[in-house]
Structure formats: C-alpha cells, structure tokens
Amino acid sequence: MLRNTLRTEELISELQSFGTRLADPAAGAESRRGGAGPSDHKAVTIDGVTVMVPVHTAPAFESPYFIEQPDAFGRSRVLRDGLPVGDVSFPLRPRFYDLHTADGIPYSKIAVLHGRDVLATTVLQSCVRYESRAKSCQFCAIGQSLAAGRTIERKTPAQLAEVAKAAVELDGVTHMVMTTGTPPGKDRGAAILAESAAAVKAAVNLPIQVQCEPPDDDAWFGRLYGAGADGLGMHLEAVTEAVRQRIMPGKAQVSVERYFSAYEAAVPVFGRGQVSTYILAGLGDTREEILGVSERLIAIGVYPFVVPFVPIAGTPLENHPAPAPAFMASLLAPLASMLAAGGLTSIGAKAGCAKCGACSALSTYERGHAGSGGCA
Ligand code: SF4
C-alpha cells in the first residue's frame, strides 16, 4: 500500500476528522444517515481495519480526501489533494438487508450493519430528550431517520430476534449493539433492552452490548446481565458539566457523578472492560479534561471510547467543526498507553462499540501497545 508519510492511525484520524468525497457513493454497504449517536458516515476498510468515515457531513463535502471508483478487485485509491496516500475497500452490502419480516418490514429498518461485523439497532427510535430542540442532545439525529422512513419507532423483541438470527447466519455478524432513545420512566430504557436482549439470546448465540442512560435503580444491571447482555454502554458524551449543559441540556440532568456511581455498580456485574462509555472529542472538553476523566474510568474498569465528534447534517451542530487530527492524536496516543497500563483492551470486550472500534482510531493506537498490557 502507498503510504507517503501517513501511518494507518494517522490516515484513519485524518479521514474521520475531514471526512471524504466519494467517486461512487453506492460502493459497498449503504452509508448511515441520521439515527442515534454518530452518523452520516460509511464503513471503509483500511489495512484490515474497518472504520466509519464521514461522507454526508459539511466537512466531508470540502474534504481534501477523495476515494476513487473501486477496481475489479474492490480496491479504491485514496487521494489527498489529488495525490495517492493509500488503498481502501468497502464492506459488502449485507445479505440480510434483502429480507422482510412476515408483516412486510424490511430487516434493514429493524437493524443495520455497523463497521464490518456488528449488528446495530435502536430499539426505541424516540426519546424524551428529543421532544424539543432546547432539551435535546445537539448532536443527535434520532428523529431524522424515523422521519425519513428508514426505520420504525419500536422494534419488538421478536423482530430483533428474527433479524439477529439472519444476520449471524447470512452475514457472519459477531456481536450486537442495542441502543435506545430514553423513554419516559425511571428505568431509562433498561426494561425494553432487557426484554430485547433476552429474545435475541433465545434465538441465536450472539454477544450483545446494551446502551442506555444510568437507570434509577442499580438493580437493573443484574437484570440486564441476567437477560443476556454481555456488555453495557452508558455514554457520557462530554465529560465536564459545563459542556454537557451546553451540548445536551436534557441528558445533563443526570450528573457525571451519577454516571460514575452507576459505573461502580455495573463493573462488578459485567466485569472489567465490559462496561464502556462514549466520549465525543471536539465539543469543548480539553485534552486534559478528557484524559483526566478517562484515567478515573479506567481505574474502575470502564473503557472510555473516545471518538471524534461528527457534525451530522440537519442537527443544531451541523456546522460545528470536527476536531483536528492533531488534537485526536494528542488524545488517543496517551489514552492507548493508559488503557494498556490499566489492562483494558478493545479486543477484550465481548461486544459493543469498544470492540467494534470503527468510530475512532483508538484501537489502531492500541495495537501499538499490543503485548504491553493485560487482557480485560
Ligand atoms: S463503534 Fe459503535 S457506533 Fe461506531 S460503528 Fe461500531 S458499533 Fe456502531
């Protein structure tokens, strides 16, 4: 592969910060638009690592990067300012996308492929935090894919089980992410995640990570684990109260300290490295603030999955800049060292975003520390 001066992790960081233009937007699996969490990106495989690269965002339209039409072997050259800097390929469109449920709903409206081998679903595609833009998380597009008809609001346990079984059998998915909008009520979605995980586990042997806000009662962690969840994500998104109040005023009603008390209760249930949090870099938290909170998280066994913020079209933050590649490198390199020292690894995770790793170059930085730390 051509590399010029860019190492794999640098090329991934650059592509994730700048995004890319595409000669053939239809190459490989469909790109992801809208939905909960990071979006507006497409799965791309670089040096055997599949990552999500923004393609529908404002920075992507102006990106110095351009991916050419795939050749006969499915490889595409990546150009930066017109000069080749590497080769990529695109994961194929999964076969389960061609199927429908008995009541006529396309499987792709129930769950989608993330990265290379992750089945992902938003069990409940609505959220109490999304009722008004004054309260909603400013980066979130959970309502957009629903409004565009690309998904359905509530995926039943039976539908999820049917799709998960097909995705394993037809496309070899190896783990599943179940997230949810936050429903009214104190369990914050844990109850619907528990019933969904139980149904999938009854149908197919597939590791599952569930993701929700900290529920009111820590007993939910045991219930989720007992229902078949192998991992749990409770996502801080931003680490300081000031940034949380500004970017996610509704969700910030649950304090950082409540997240920490929930982590301390969840880790003994799921195990070290099986509880994780998503941290969006580039929203205002400094490098030191993110690394400081990550150090606390790692000490209690929580994997801080730090990803570059992606400005999703149609959200209040669509014109917010993505973080510079140098800022991401200054975060991810020391974070990989901290993870190695703490004995947490992405490959040690049974399921979920830390294991997938596609939204960040973090796991690529981790590979530079292979052998220097234990397995989670
Ligand atoms: S890291 Fe999480 S959100 Fe990103 S592609 Fe993987 S499963 Fe999806």
- Render each residue's pLDDT in the chain as its tens digit; 376 residues: 444 567 888 899 999 999 999 998 887 766 666 555 556 889 999 988 999 999 988 889 999 999 999 998 889 999 999 999 999 999 999 999 999 998 899 999 999 999 999 999 999 999 998 877 777 999 988 888 888 898 999 999 999 999 999 999 999 999 999 999 999 999 999 999 999 999 999 999 999 999 999 999 999 999 999 999 999 999 999 999 999 999 999 999 999 999 999 999 999 999 999 999 999 999 999 999 999 999 999 999 999 999 999 888 888 998 899 999 999 999 999 999 999 999 999 999 999 999 999 999 999 999 876 543 332 2
Give the span between the Cα atoms of 176 and 111, in whole angstroms: 10
Going by CA atoms, what residue is nearest to atom 1 of ligand 1? 353
**Which among 101, 202, 119, 222 is positioned nearest to 164, based on CA atoms?**
119
Q: For a ligand 1 pocket test, name from 359, 360, 363 the mutation site with the most ligand atoms within 8 angstroms of its C-beta.
A: 359
Q: Which residues lie closer than 8 Å to 369 by C-beta, 6 or more apart? A: 336, 337, 339, 340
Going by CA atoms, what residue is nearest to atom 8 of ligand 1? 114
Looking from the CA of 88 toward its CB, the CA atoms found within 13 Å total: 31
Cβ of 233 closer than 6 Å to ligand 1, yes or no, is no
Number of other residues whose CB lies within 10 A of the CB of residue 147: 12
Distance of alpha carbon 326 from the chain centroid: 21
pTM of structure:
0.92
Do 251 and 293 touch, CB atoms closer than 8 A?
A: no
Give the span between the Cα atoms of 43 and 52, in whole angstroms: 5
Q: Cα of 360 to ligand 1 centre, how many Å?
A: 9
Cβ of 115 closer than 6 Å to ligand 1, yes or no, is yes
Give the span between the Cα atoms of 366 and 339, in whole angstroms: 8
- Ligand 1 atom nearest to CA at 177: 7
3-state DSSP assignment of residue 191: helix
* Residue position matching structure tokens 């019933």: 195
